[in-house]
Structure 1
Amino acid sequence: MKLNEEKFTIPVGNKTVSSIRTSTDKDPAFTFVYAPGAGSNINDPFGEYLSSHLPTVGASLVRFQFPYMDAGRRGPDRPALLEETWRQIINSFRPKEGKLVIGGRSMGGRIASQVVAQGIQVDALALFAYPLHPPSNRSAIRDEHLKDIIVPTIFCSGSRDNFATPKELTGVSNSMTDAKFHELDGADHGFSVLKRSGRTREDVWKEALDITVVWMKDILVSAC
């Protein structure tokens, strides 16, 4: 199946961000917008994996990077700018038809959840390796805004993720309006696995992709 890749530059205030949309010639049932974690960028390996596979199952994939990444800086932008970037990206790629799902890995997903909690209109939220708290301070849980999210939400994180345990994410998802948690057995925050597990990081990527696709299709069916 031929994949089409389009590159865009999106203005955010007096700054710009780079974005890429990957799709096929068919009208997508979903548009999925993905943001990377704090230490990654538009070439985030998991984002690239999604862009190679999601379009083959009926979704277009948009990935982007935040202004500090475009500027070549290592430290993230202030929260207000990160949130405004998400809003501009959503408004730029909002489909005329089909569902809009947004999310991302680690910080990219956390900021997505914040703008959804603030009320921007999307159909669903997919959060990979959600950073519920810093590894060094498990009591500093960042979940207050999650109770305000009413759209279908999926958390997909590893059993060895030191930013959130399966027990913690199960509790968070159970407290939300419409959320579920999927545990990636043996994976850490970067979706890496121990050699003795017999699995590879790409195996984890595929599992995360497969569960997300099933979840997306369930959303489409329930909306009919």
Structure 2
Amino acid sequence: MHTLINGPENSPICLFAHGAGAPMDSDFMEAVAQGVGEKGIKVVRFEFPYMQERRETGKKRPPNRQPELLACFKELVDSQQGDVYLMGKSMGGRMASILAAEHSELPIQQVFALGYPFHPLNKPEKLRVDHFPNMSCAMTIYQGQRDKLGDQGLVESLVLPTNIEVAWLEDGDHDLKPRVKSGYTHDEHIQTVINDIAGKIHASYASKNGEQ
């Protein structure tokens, strides 16, 4: 499995999964990984099999079936030493949350989802939240208010478990990008997410080590 690593060794480990359409070295993935890495966290990016195949052949492939995606993610978790934090863009965040829900034995400390796909495009009745109650760790979802896969109106109508926090990005779309008229910039929203994720990971890591 090919990986890209940002941040120092001997620091908290955050495994970062890409979304359905863009690879691990997309501009969005690069900005977040570099930003979190610069805050003293080892960020490990990887690609699911279909995306790796696309990289090797140049031919677009649809995402693998969910069991294959989860098996790939779990393989990376298993290869690490000790506790891990999971982070994912869109589909990657969804797979991270399902992995945490289905494998409570894994040393997953927290999950971070950047643009969670609460439902398929234009199908708000097909919600993807059934596994949320099975997650024992904390999860933070960073969601644009205008996200077409789960906007603020829809998400706030849901009753989510208390260990799941939704952090709203003003006027953001599925990539957390706001419109110019909002007064915010994409870079500002990404930096907000980076700061929050790094803060949560360092606080969790310090608390865990303090108990030991």
C-alpha separation between the residues in 2 aligned to 1:197 and 1:82? 36
Q: Residues 2-151 of structure 1 correspond to what in structure 2 (within 5 A)?
A: 10=1, 18-24=2-8, 27-28=10-11, 30-72=12-54, 73-92=60-79, 94-96=80-82, 99-119=83-103, 120-151=106-137
Query: Could you tell me which amino acid in structure 2 is paired with residue 71 of structure 1?
Result: E
State TM-score, norm by structure 2.
0.87
C-alpha separation between the residues in 2 aligned to 1:222 and 1:176? 23
The equivalent residue for 2:171 is: 186
Runs of 4+ deviating beyond 4 Å: none
Q: Secondary structure at the match of 2:142?
A: strand
C-alpha separation between the residues in 1 aligned to 2:108 and 2:157? 24
Give deviations 1:153-179, integer Å, cap 9, x for gaps.
11111111011123444565x632522
Matched, 1:163 2:145: no
C-alpha separation between the residues in 1 aligned to 2:136 and 2:51? 30
Unaligned runs of 5+ residues in structure 2 are 55-59
What root-mean-square deviation, in Å, do the aligned CA atoms of Structure 1 and Structure 2 show? Answer: 1.8
C-alpha separation between the residues in 1 aligned to 2:77 and 2:196? 23
Q: Which structure features the higher share of strand residues?
A: 1
- Residues 44-53 or 102-111, more deviating: 44-53
Unaligned runs of 5+ residues in structure 1 are 1-9, 11-17
Query: Could you tell me which amino acid in structure 1 is paired with residue 124 of structure 2?
Result: R
The equivalent residue for 2:185 is: 200
C-alpha separation between the residues in 2 aligned to 1:154 and 1:222? 18
Shift of 1:135: 2.6
Query: Could you tell me which amino acid in structure 1 is paired with residue 35 of structure 2?
Result: H
The alignment covers a number of residue pairs equal to 202
Q: 1:166 to 1:217 in 2, by over 3 A?
A: farther
C-alpha separation between the residues in 2 aligned to 1:55 and 1:129? 20
Query: Could you tell me which amino acid in structure 1 is paired with residue 21 of structure 2?
Result: G
160, 163, 168: which is aligned to 1:175? 160
The answer to whether the 8 Å contact 2:41/2:198 transfers is: no
Q: Sequence identity of aligned pairs in percent?
A: 22
C-alpha separation between the residues in 2 aligned to 1:171 and 1:125? 22
